[in-house]
Amino acid sequence: MTAEILDGKALATELRGVLAQRVAARAAAGKPVPGLATVIVGDDPASQVYVRGKHKACREVGITPIGYELPASTSQDELLALIAELNGRADVHGILVQLPLPAHLDAAAVQSAVALEKDVDCLNPANLGLLAQKDRAPRFTPCTPAGILRLIEKSGLDLSGANAVVLGRSNIVGMPVALLLTQANATVTIAHSHTRDLPALCRTADLLVAAVGRPQLVRGDWVREGAVVIDVGVNQIQDPAARRGQRLVGDVAFDEIVEKAAAITPVPGGVGPMTIAMLLENTLKAAELADA
Ligand code: NAP
């Protein structure tokens, strides 16, 4: 069997086209343009690249990006004061605080301060808590997990009763993915760094979601024939044959799995582009909810 490649880039482009039309329709109806405020603290180069990408994507669909870059010396009180100001601004519909924050700042307290109706990243614990409750849901679905669910939908896998194994239990990927899959009636096992015999556990999976940040951890013989494999990992490895001497790989050994799986996401071009599309969708949804 050769796997279907779940092309997140193409799916995200399609979704962004639809979002651009919806934003344009709002403008034509005289409604406010959706605004996304982004906050970076410190000078982490990766954060700057990620946020630049998010701003570009916003502009492409007609959402206004409103960027704040604060020095690494910013105090907790100063950051909370900015969040309070953004919570009160009518032109800001979504607020994204880019992680990681410098070590002296309390990220959990900052995330808790983001107004629930502007929490487009879904990192306020009150929103994550709603995700964990049966028959309840937060206003916004967290971006990377939401993108993953769309890619699974594209694969045609029926999640009801499926055995899903999620590698990783982080607040931004592993745990919310596991909760969303549970809501979709999959039987979910969450694995982490203390899990025994990971390969055997993975072989039980109809759906395997890898979000560990370990380059090509998941090998070909860990995957059952016909499984759907979602690779969330983004890892840079040295490769003398690559143009810049390094390249990006995921958490799964793509070449070993592509001949076995029913469907697989590539890295890059799988989950990453979907994460940004979901952020845009959540920001538009926040603006629509603010109209009411
Ligand atoms: P994280 O916070 O570092 O969490 C990693 C998780 O993997 C933890 O739960 C950890 O277990 C588990 N883990 C680590 N090594 C393991 C091993 N050898 N065996 C089993 N479990 C192991 O990472 P994250 O933020 O969730 O991100 C995971 C990956 O996804 C990273 O490569 C990141 O760059 C990528 N990512 C991509 C996107 C995207 O949009 N494409 C978005 C977010 C993240 P413990 O809990 O026991 O420590």
pLDDT band at 119; cut points 50, 70, 90: very high
Pick the CATH number of 30-115 from 3.50.50.60, 3.90.1150.10, 3.40.50.2300, 3.40.50.10860: 3.40.50.10860
Only one residue has tokens 């592993």, namely 174
Q: Going by CA atoms, what residue is nearest to atom 14 of ligand 1?
A: 212
pLDDT for residue 292 = 81
179: which strand partners? none
How is the chain split into domains, by residue range?
Answer: 30-115, 143-272
Atom of ligand 1 at shortest range from CA of 214:
15
Q: Is domain 143-272 given the CATH code 3.20.20.70 in the classification?
A: no
* 147 pLDDT more than 90: yes
Q: Which two tokens stand for residue 102?
A: 């410098």
- Specify whether the CB–CB gap between 98 and 79 falls below 8 A: no
The Å distance, Cα 235 to ligand 1 centre, comes to 11
Q: What is the mean pLDDT of residues 77-98?
A: 98
| pLDDT tens per residue across span 193-214 | 999 999 999 999 999 999 999 9
In ligand 1, the atom with minimum distance to the C-alpha of 192 is: 21
Domains 30-115 and 143-272 share a fold: yes
Partner residues linked to 188 by β-bridges: 164
Give the atom of ligand 1 at the shortest distance from the alpha carbon of 169. 9
**158 φ, ψ (degrees, to nearest 5):** -85, 110
> Which among 49, 148, 193 is the best mutation to test ligand 1's pocket, defined by most ligand atoms within 8 Å of the CB?
193
User: Which residue puts its alpha carbon closest to atom 30 of ligand 1?
Assistant: 233
State the pLDDT at residue 116: 96
Which residue's alpha carbon is at the smallest distance from atom 22 of ligand 1? Answer: 193
CA of 251 to the centre of ligand 1 (A): 9
Catalytic positions, written as ranges: 54, 98, 121
DSSP state of 218: B
Q: In whole angstroms, how far apart are CA 211 and each of 1, 44, 175, 214, 259?
A: 24, 22, 10, 8, 21
Q: What is the atom index within ligand 1 of the atom nearest the CA of 143?
A: 40
Give the whole-angstrom CA distance, residue 147 versus residue 270. 9
Pocket test of ligand 1: the residue of 121, 212, 232, 235 to mutate, having most ligand atoms within 8 Å of its CB, is: 212
Per-residue pLDDT of 26-84, as tens digits, reads 999 999 999 999 999 999 999 999 999 999 999 999 999 999 999 999 999 999 999 99
Q: Residue 35's pLDDT is what?
A: 98
CA separation, residue 85 to residues 65, 79, 95, 169 (Å): 16, 10, 11, 32
Pocket test of ligand 1: the residue of 128, 172, 173 to mutate, having most ligand atoms within 8 Å of its CB, is 173
Residues with beta carbon inside 6 Å of ligand 1? Answer: 144, 167-170, 172-174, 191-195, 198, 211-214, 217, 232-235, 271-272, 275
pTM of the model: 0.97
Ligand 1 centroid vs 163 CA: distance in angstroms? 20
Q: Alpha-carbon dihedral of residues 159, 161, 163, 164, nearest 10 degrees?
A: 40
Q: Is the peptide bond before 240 cis (omega within 30 degrees of 0)?
A: no
**Tokens at 226, concatenated:** 């016909």
What is the spatial distance between Cα 113 and Cα 81, in angstroms, rounded to a whole number?
10
Contacts of 29 (CB under 8 A, 6+ apart): none
Torsion angle (degrees, nearest 10) of CA 120, 122, 125, 127: 90
Of residues 128 and 30, more confidently modeled: 30
